[in-house]
Every structure is written in structure tokens, then in C-alpha cells.
Structure 1
């Protein structure tokens, strides 16, 4: 029986903070519509018994969507069940719809996992030289793609990959769970992402991306399982989601050292709001790969528990690039090693060809309305010696906890900015006299 399902189509206009400090609204980011064509993975021999390999079914279904284009696109329905499959590519004008109780599960047989070229803004795999394993679900140059449903699950079965990484037996960089490269008009919603081998959701060189109402889960000791990493991408909205992983919950990136500088594509107009979660690393992060530049990021209404660092903006000498016009507000942090860290000495290098004199520019970072309890150290702001961080603005921040003996609540160097109603009171480098862009606070 041919099924008809209501689906979501989207054009993304993101909230961001303009260079003049004006907040720009993203309204009507989701509008309703119908896919004119609906098919089921069962039509292509899909079997959800958790044992049958469904690679052929998924690839044939997507080939059918790609070759037999229907006006308005096609919805691919995945019924309840566990569908084991190897990686597969997505195509334009499709909705992948997971019913309640549907699980698309990655095979743990890595021998048939495709290898692809490294991203040009990284120059090599992020973990190891050479290529990298293709993501479990992969889109290149596609548009109008929706991954949604009734909170079905995409399970990467990452244990095999994590163990190989720990044993140092991998020859190439582990696969992401979902990656979109050079894509636009993408929505991901109402899906659970579980046990990614590496990063979970990675839009790169892409635009008009919405990720909302998702749950992302991985054990706290799972290595490098970042939640959502917008990378050299623009107009990205991430909202109303829960993330609990082994690495940064959300990390905005834009390329790595000389390769990111040469590629030169910034991440811009990124909104993160109403996100909560837990991690031994950072809640909201920018970097450390920021060589193409990051600008106009707004993160607000964030709730973080059992964190390594609440808010972490990170770069390094040799990165080049810039980080500017970043606003983080209305954050609650409970149990963290550090509340706020803005650091210029974080992250490794892809090779020895990087230019150590390529210094990053960090300017215009506003953090306000932050409340923290059980925070061991309030903050650390460490700029780069010959490129100090400027216009670092802190307002209405209260970070209380059990300060470790002989550890000052704040530690700062090579930084200038302004602080207002911050407790414990920050370092002297942040004066109480308004200066620079901090004077625009209201």
C-alpha cells in the first residue's frame, strides 16, 4: 500500500548578531508541505530484523528517488524495526522518515566501509594523515533534504571504532554519523542519534541548515563524539535539542591551519538556542579549527550539567583566521571544571607545514547572564602573546563552586575587555571602564 506522510520542508534564515550588535530574527524557518511521492524501504526488500543487511535496499531506494524525480520530491519511509546497513549516500529532494521504533543501524564490518578524500580545508583526515572513512549517511552537493520522523534512531554502533582508536589500529580517520558537504536547505529533526563512530552531525561548506528537536547520545568516554559541528557553513540554526556525548556538544569550526587559511570559507550566522546536555568537554565551543574564520554566532538559553568546560572559545598560533562577534547568553552550568575558557593555546596541527606566525584574531566576544554552581574555576582567558584578544565583554555572571586550593577563580593574560557584575570578580585585565565594542551593551 502506498503511504502518504506529512513532511516538513524548510528554508533557514538564522538568528544572528550583526556587526552592529543588532539581533536579527529567524522567523518562519519551517513551513509545511507535502512530498508528492512516498515509498517504503520495504518496497525494496528492506527487512528490520536486526540481522539482515539492508544496504542494497537503501541504495536502490535512493537511486530510484534520484533517477525518477517527482515534482515536490520523495519521502522514504522506514517502518518500525532494526535495519542493519552499510553507509549510503543521500540525494536531493528527499525526506528520510523514521517511524516510531525504527532504527537504522550501521554495520560493524569496517572492511566494506568506503574511503573518501580529506576535506580540502583540513588537508588530511582529522585524526590521521590521508583519506577518511565516509560518514554513515553522506550527502555531497545535495539540496532540500529532510531527515525526520517520530523519534526513530540512527545508531552508528561506534564501539568498534572507539576501541580501534584506543588501540591505535586505525589507518584512517573514523566516519561521522551524518555529513553534508557543499549542501543547502537541510533540516534534521525529531530523530535520535546514537553511538557515532566520530562526530555526529557535520555540515561543512553548506548553508541553510536547521537541526532541531534531536537527541544525540554517546558514552562520556567515547572519543571525539562531538554532537553538532557546523564547519565553514552559514545560516545554521540548532535548537531545542538534548546532547550527551564524549566531546563538545556543539562546536563551530572552519578549517585547520594552512589548509583552512587557503580554503578561506568562514562559518557565519550560527544560532544555538535551547540546547541542554552533558559532556566531559565543552558545552558551547568555537574551534579549535577556525582558520577560515568564525563570525556572528549567537548561543542562548543553554543548560549544561557535569561539564568539563561550560563555554569554550579556542584557537592556537598557526591557526590564522578570526573569531569575532560571538554572543553567549542565558546559560546555566551545574558541575564543571571551568565555567568559561577563551584560550589561544589549544589544538594540534595537521603537519609541520603550518606557519607559526599565522596568528588568530579574536575580537568581540560577549558572554552575559551566566549562572553556575559547583564550578571549580570560574574562568581562564589566555590570549596569544603577539595577538591579544580584545573586546572581551562579561556581564551579569555568577559562577560559584568549590574553588580548588591555590587556584585563583580567574586567570587572564594577553586580553583586554570589560566586566560588569561578575562574581567572583575577574582578573584586572578586564576593566570596569567601558571600552571598545563592550560599550554597546544594554
Structure 2
């Protein structure tokens, strides 16, 4: 067993400065140092769970044996708890400080589908205090902890999840219904139990309320699905090499943690898994996510910091994050910030990542009521293929629905209404995105801010996207596009600007013969400067609406 100690992020290589951009970007001449992520240091003294009576027969419930092993090793000053070859059935596992839970390659740690093994506890759900079933793996107020190896941790999520009919084939749906459970009256949703049905019909189900205890939530207990792994207020964490899969809700949820490293993980869920996120880093500081692969049912790699008033009251941003050398397959978004970002997010580096078939590539989402500021986000060298939605999306009208409309689903159009700016008004500002290539997307780039709080100061450089539709900019200020190439099928217009100002476009490339290059509308549109762009390749260069000031658009060679 290898001794685990400080490594990559302590080295001078990891502290090397990154030049965020070349000429034309606000930080062109500045060097920004990557944050330091402190690493765990755990003794290599090893104790097998067999020592405390565990049996890897897939039948024996090993909850007590595993937890006794962990507690014993921690009490002796720490070390390795070994999960050897076998199929190990268990209830909730509680981590302890100075312990490395290590899984052999042919070890499967599978959590029981007996809901009685999971007690209701006060936790957190989507950024608010909530009662949930105890997570299969959890730890609170710990330091120096690790889960390593190349084995599999399986959350048995199919026992917990509701499933939409539209996300299964006809054969899969029939098999699921035949297994038991309850189908909703409209025939479009399957539930595993009556308690799950009741919970789905309960407003703010599970949210902590004064005077209520766990007993008050017993009638909806099955609905309160746990996240597979929850670490709360922990320091110095390493998750390395392991496969985390089949979670009841989110897979990995570090909350209020510091010095967190996720390395070379496999994180998996069925694509239809409701709330089946890969990793949700919430209100954490100093984080490294590298070399990992995600293929999940909701957002892949996601940054959060609490929801609405509860998140603002907590007031802890997620900051100093490095995300690099990762691959995301199916997910609602490859790299995501929001929508629960009420405590803010800042100083985040994302680079050398590939998104393959994610619904949206780079996804930044929020909505009124959240508050919070997301700023200083640096994205570089991202490759994407087969994106069903937008390659790059900024949306301040997030509505908690799947990003891709299902067959037969109808959604109302967004109505733009100005409201006063308050602490509930979210903000997106200071993003620097460079060297992005996407082969196949529904729409290349989408910005949609609020009338009272535009998306601000977004810099895109060296971006090439092949897509059906081009660029849409709504309620945005300070958008800088340099060396952007959009190769579109439906290019009418290539760039659609609505109620936006201080838009700078330099060397825009597009498909020759496009019907319309620029469409500009909205009385607030102004300060639109286009340079280095050959407008003669389009059938029509501009279409400026009557309400737009004639001087709003300035085009130069």
C-alpha cells in the first residue's frame, strides 16, 4: 500500500502562473497563480474489514463490521481500511479522521436497498437545510480522510429514483412498471413507493421547519433520497481512482470543505437518473478535480454555494478551484456553475477538458431570488462534440427543467420584465473563455441576462463552433468576442443582439452565404463595435430594428 502524501499541488509546477489571454483581454498582461491544495497524509498501516467479521458474499449486511473497522483505525491514529475482493453489502458508512478507505480492483461496496437502514437526518438539499435519508457514505468535521483504490462504490440508486417515461424505451418502461411501484395518473412517471409519490406532491418536501422532528417526515421518507457521498465541514480530502456509481441523488457532495482533491475517478449514473449529478462542490475552498470521467443523469461537474436566502445567510462562496483534464459524457452540463450559487463563486480555472454529448457544454445558470456573485472564471482549451443544446450558455432565467425539451413537451416563452435590484439579484461577471472547439451543437453561444442586471464582462477568444444556430446576446453588457468562428446551418442571423451594450466583435468568421450576419433589436442596444469582419460574405450584413439608435452599430474593417 502506498503512503499518501502531498504531491502535485505542492510542486512548483502546480504553482506556475497562467497567462489567461493575449492582447484584447482585460487580464492580458497579468499572471494569475493557481491556488494551493493541501494534500492528505495518512499512515499506511492497513486493517481489513474482514478483521471485524465482514463477509463479501453479497448477502451479509456489513454495516457494523465496516464502521467498527473505520472507528478502530481512527482511534489508533489512522491508517488504511481495506475493502478486499468481494461483493460487500452494507448500510451507511461513516468516515473518520486520518482514515483511507481503500477498495481493491475487484471489490464492490454496494449499499442496501432496505430503506430502514437509513435514518432521517438533518442535512442539506439543493442549497437549503433539509431532512434527508442518511447518505451511504458521510463524514462531518473530519480532517485528513481519503477514499482510494480502483474498486466500485454502488449506491443502489434504482431503488430510490422516480423515472420519467419519456426517458426510457418502450421495453425498458414496461420492465420497470412490471417490477412494482406506482405509475402517476397521467402515465408519465414511475415511483418506487407510495411515500415517494406523496413526497413528490409535497411543497418544499423535507425542508427543515422549526418544531418538526424526523417523525414528521416519516410519511415521505422514501422521497428524501440521499446523495451517495456527503462530506460536511471537512479538511484535507482525497478521492482517487474509485468508481462512484448509481447514486440515489447526487453522486459526490462536498459541503463547506477545504483542500479537496478528486483525482482519476469514474463517476457514473444512468442518463435518466433524476438529480443524478456527478459532483456538486458547494461552498468549498481550495479544490482540485483532475483526470476524472463523468457519465451521469444531471450536471457533470458543478459548482454551488447555497440557495436563495439560506445560501446568502451562509455566505460562503466556492473559491479557488482547479478543474482540469476531465472528460464528461452524458450530463445536463459538462462544467456548470449554479443555479444554487447564492453564496457566490470566484477564482475558478477550468482547462484541458472534453465534453462528449453533454446537453450543454459550458453552462452558467441562475435566476432571480438567488443573489450571489459569480466572477473571475477562467476557461481554456475545451473540446466538445455532439452537444444537443448550447455549446456555451449564460442564462439568468433558469427554471429547474431539463435543458433539452422532451418530445411533446411545451414550455412558455420567457417574459422580460424589469424589477428592482436587491440582495436577491444574482450577478455573472468577469469570465475569460479561450480556445474552445465544438463539433456539433444546437446553438453556438447564448447569453441571457436580466433587464435589471445584465451579464457583464464576458471575454471569448479563439472559439470555433459548428452548430445549427449562431450567437444570441440578450441583456448583456461588455461582451468581447475575438477570433470567433461559428459555422452554422441555420444562420439567420449569425449574431442576434437584443437590448445589449458595449458589444465588441473582432474577426468574426462565419459560413459564406449566410442569410443575415447581424440582427440588432431593443432600445437599450448601443455601443456595438464590429471590426476585422468581412460582412460581404453574407447575403445581408445587418438588420437594425427601428427602435435602435442609428449610431448603435459601428462596423470597421
State the TM-score, normalized to the length of structure 2. 0.69
The answer for the alignment partner of 1:140 in structure 2 is: 140
Deviation at 1:254, TM superposition (A): 0.2
Q: How does 1:330-369 map to 2 (within 5 A)?
A: 330-336=381-387, 337-347=389-399, 357=422, 358-369=424-435
Structure 1 residue runs without a partner (length 5+): 126-130, 350-354, 436-442
- Contact persistence 2:483–2:506 (CA under 8 A): no
- Which residue in 2 is equivalent to 1:352? none
Counterpart residue number, 1:284: 335
* Higher-Rg member (1/2): 2
Compute the displacement of 1:112 (Å).
2.1
- The residue number in structure 2 matching 1:159 is 158
Residues 211 and 166 from structure 1, CA distance in 2 versus in 1: closer, same or farther, beyond 3 angstroms? farther
Deviations 1:364-416 (A, max 9, x none): 01111111112121121101110111101111111103x1xxxx422221112
Partner deviation per Cα, 1:149-178 (whole Å, 9 max, x = no partner):
1x1000111101113895243524311111
TM superposition outliers: structure 1 runs of 4+ over 6 Å? 13-20
> Which residue number corresponds to residue 128 of structure 1?
none
Does 1:7 find its partner at 2:7? no
Shift of 1:229: 1.0
2: CA distance, partners of 1:333 / 1:201: 24
Residue ranges of structure 2 left out of the alignment (5+ in a row): 21-25, 163-180, 182-188, 200-219, 402-419, 487-493, 508-526, 528-557
**1:396 corresponds to which of 453, 462, 469:** 462
Deviation at 1:247, TM superposition (A): 0.8
Moved more, 233-242 or 36-45: 36-45
C-alpha distance after superposition, 1:203-233 (max 9, x if no partner): 1101000000100111111111111111000
Structure 1 residues 236-275: aligned runs within 5 Å: 236-275=287-326
Equivalent residue for 1:327?
378
Task: Show the counterpart of 2:243.
Answer: 192
Report the alpha carbon displacement of residue 63 of structure 1 after superposing the two structures with TM. 2.1
Q: Are 2:424 and 1:373 equivalent residues in the alignment?
A: no
Matched, 1:84 2:76: no
Cα deviation, residue 36, structure 1:
5.1
1:94-133 alignment, distance < 5 Å: 94-119=99-124, 122-125=127-130, 131-133=131-133
CA distance in 2, matches of 1:399, 1:120: 36
Aligned counterpart for 1:382 among listed residues 448, 451, 475: 448
Aligned in 2, Cα 1:201/1:366: closer, same or farther, shift over 3 Å? same
Cα 1:330–1:293, aligned 2, differ >3 Å: closer, same or farther?
same
C-alpha distance in 2 between matches for 1:398 and 1:252? 25
CA distance in structure 1 between the aligned counterparts of 2:37 and 2:133, rounded to whole angstroms:
36
| 2: CA distance, partners of 1:123 / 1:196 | 20
1:410 maps to what in 2?
471
Contact 2:42 2:98 in 1 (8 A): no
CA distance in 2, matches of 1:286, 1:388: 17
Secondary structure of 1:117's counterpart equals strand
Check whether the contact 1:46–1:57 (CA below 8 A) recurs between aligned residues.
yes
Cα distance change of structure 1 residues 254 and 347 upon mapping to structure 2, 3 Å threshold: farther
Q: How many residues were matched structurally?
A: 411
In structure 2, what is the Cα distance between the partners aligned to 1:370 and 1:377?
14
* CA distance 1:162–1:226, change in 2 (3 Å): same
State the match for 1:37 in structure 2.
45
Residue 118 (structure 1) shift: 3.2
| Cα offset, 1:356, TM superposition | 8.6
Superposed CA offset, 1:111-132 (max 9, x none):
221211133993343xxxxx11
CA shift for structure 1 position 347: 4.3
Q: Is the 8 A contact 1:282 1:307 kept in 2?
A: yes
Using the TM superposition, give the Cα deviation of residue 22 of structure 1 relative to its aligned residue in structure 2, in angstroms.
2.9
CA distance in 2, matches of 1:98, 1:375: 39
Name the SS of the counterpart of 1:64 in structure 2: helix
| 8 Å contact from structure 1 (residues 199, 229) kept in 2 | yes
Give CA-to-partner distance per residue, 1:221-246, whole Å, 9 cap, x none.
11111111110001000000111001
8 Å Cα contact 1:318/1:356 also seen in 2? no
Cα 1:157–1:286 change in 2 (3 A) is same
Quick one: structure 1 residues 204 and 166, their matched pair in 2 at CA, closer, same or farther if it must change by over 3 Å?
A: farther
Secondary structure in 1 aligned to 2:334?
Answer: strand
In the alignment, structure 1 residue 432 sits paired with structure 2 residue 432 = no
Q: Provide the rounded CA distance (Å) in 2 between the counterparts of 1:278 and 1:233.
A: 25
Contact 1:10 / 1:186 at 8 angstroms: preserved in 2?
no
SS of the residue 2:299 aligns to: coil
The CA distance in 2 between the partners of 1:431 and 1:286, in whole Å, is 25
- After superposition, the Cα gap between the structure-2 partners of 1:28 and 1:431, relative to the gap in structure 1 and judged at 3 Å, is closer
Task: Tell me how large the CA RMSD over aligned residues is.
Answer: 2.6
